[in-house]
A and B are shown apart, each in its own frame.
Chain A
């Protein structure tokens, strides 16, 4: 049963660009990118209960790292570029995570919110490097002799990366580290009393989350092809939060499902920009009041 579901899901994902129109291939690519961010945010917020309002900032750092690296070294194979984007972002995550260890809940949320603002301000003001508000055109990604110049090729890149990241996250969740994360979420003080080094694991969660979001940022740069600081505002961070709240805090597949729903919803509401935040706000309130565990908890209850 389980194997059949996996095979079916895998075949649907692989076959999608062969049957779907071009625009929907692009949309599916965005879903994959957002799924990686949602998993990353979930590792931090869902698993260790550290609320972040600054993941758009991490995404921006990953995206600009990948874009600038490709501009300087066009021949670099794309997996290395994405890895570099992830590592640079992880370093920033480490630099932010260590001082943030002293903060929890509300204070952490505000510190990450401020971080997000500072990143976009920095991108705007470092215009010799990032071209500021004029925006930065991202060159094509290369994989050996091939240039990834079609929506289909970029879809398969995003799909491969997302699949690897999902597997890695499922593994992390099932190990000692994942259990430590969940123990910290249940009660940090009780976790510490049980011999879990809460400070170390919270830092790990921060770095891991930043790495995921940085890799997603690199993908985002290649998929969208054009970067400007206003694309990474605080509302994008809030969108990511909506994804994991709707999908389920502390669930890898919940994050993926939330990312898919929010991305598609975002796209179909493009003509009703004024109503979009109203709907997202209502989703957040309704989830918290009626379904605190999101979609993941609902399916769990039924089975």
Chain B
């Protein structure tokens, strides 16, 4: 395979990887705050994408406003779900919340099928799909657009976590919940904020991936790739989630070149099993010790 063609494959892999990274980030943000994973994260980003579609199609908003609507709706849904359902179970074992979010993912997916449709819908493209030449290399603007938008969002997250009071509160809760509470941080507000922030980040991933994969109730399954990415980078680490997402995207795009094509859809699962068996703490993570 020639150099420029390889670069094309790697760039589109990085674009897919950015979306995985955003989904991984949203999973890790909730995990760091509440120590549980939201299995419904994928379905929540699906709702965002569907709302954006409706806002453009039915309400006739311009695309960017519709996308903003979708992302905001995802945040609102997360706020309501966290306050009404998840908060009641947080004091119980982690199992309970896992199963609740699993039930939520089933229910949300079915509800979206009833409210909208179970068919695949075309989603309006934010960026063109026609490859343009940059020197000898041909890349699709959609890849660059997705990478650009994701990087801007990631930088915004870095700013949020480093420079704002709320961001520092989130990091404090992630490190030690009891100590954070003793320092006067409202841990409950951090839970709420984490769910909303995660839904917003996930929602952006949703509207970025929807033009590529079509809009459907099945698009929530991308959370599995996001989870694999987060595990790859060491679950709980935000930079790890980004690196893991990029790595997974590139592996997934390169694998069909060297392996039978049928294997492409198994790649995330095989990567996940391999990493869990060989190095459960992820490529960059450190071992965590727990007490009784």
Contacts and interface: CB of A to CB of B under 8 A. Distances in A.
Interface in B245-292: 262, 265-266, 268-270, 272-273, 276-277, 280, 290-292
A289 B273 contact: no
Nearest to A193: B292
B110 A274 contact: yes
B100 A288 contact: yes
A121 interface: yes
Contact of B98 (A51, A121, A281, A282): A51
Contacts of A1: none
B95 A282 contact: no
A103 B95 contact: no
Interface string A95-126: 00001101101110111011101100100010
A49 B269 CA distance: 23
A245 B291 CA distance: 27
A204 B277 CA distance: 19
Contacts of A238: 102, 106
Contacts of A115: 273
A285 B89 CA distance: 10
Contact of A118 (B266, B280, B291): B266
A109 B98 contact: yes
A111 B272 contact: yes
A275 interface: yes
A194 to B, nearest CB: 12
* Most chain A CB within a 10 A radius of its CB, from B88, B107, B108: B107
A185 to B, nearest CB: 10
Interface string A30-58: 00000000000000000001010000000
Contacts of B280: 102-103, 107
Nearest to B96: A288
B89 to A, nearest CB: 6
Contact of A288 (B99, B110, B224, B262): B99
A190 B224 contact: no
Contact of B118 (A274, A281, A284): A274
In this complex, the interface size class of chain B, counting residues with CB under 8 Å from chain A, is: 35 or more
B114 interface: yes
B85 A281 contact: no
Interface in B122-175: none
B89 A241 contact: no
A277 interface: yes
B20 interface: no
A118 B270 contact: yes
Contacts of B92: 288, 292
A226 interface: no
A276 interface: yes
A278 interface: yes
Given A102-B280, A105-B95, A278-B110, A285 B272 contact: no
Given A288-B89, A288-B103, A275 B262 contact: no
B241 interface: no
A201 to B, nearest CB: 18
A285 B273 contact: no
Contact of A190 (B102, B265, B292): B292
Interface string B49-82: 0000000000000000000000000000000000
Contact of A274 (B37, B114, B276): B114
A241 B272 CA distance: 22
A52 to B, nearest CB: 12
Contact of A277 (B109, B227, B228, B265): B109
Given A275-B114, A278-B107, A114 B273 contact: yes
16 contacts: A105-B98, A110-B272, A111-B272, A111-B273, A113-B224, A114-B272, A114-B273, A121-B266, A187-B292, A274-B113, A278-B106, A280-B106, A281-B103, A285-B100, A285-B103, A288-B97
Interface of A: 49, 51, 99-100, 102-103, 105-107, 109-111, 113-115, 117-118, 121, 125, 187, 189-190, 238, 241, 245, 274-278, 280-285, 287-289, 292
Interface of B: 36-37, 85, 88-89, 92, 94-100, 102-111, 113-114, 118, 224, 227-228, 231, 235, 262, 265-266, 268-270, 272-273, 276-277, 280, 290-292
Given A107-B235, A189-B291, A288-B97, 12 more contacts: A102-B277, A105-B94, A109-B98, A110-B227, A117-B269, A274-B113, A274-B118, A277-B107, A284-B100, A284-B106, A288-B100, A289-B89
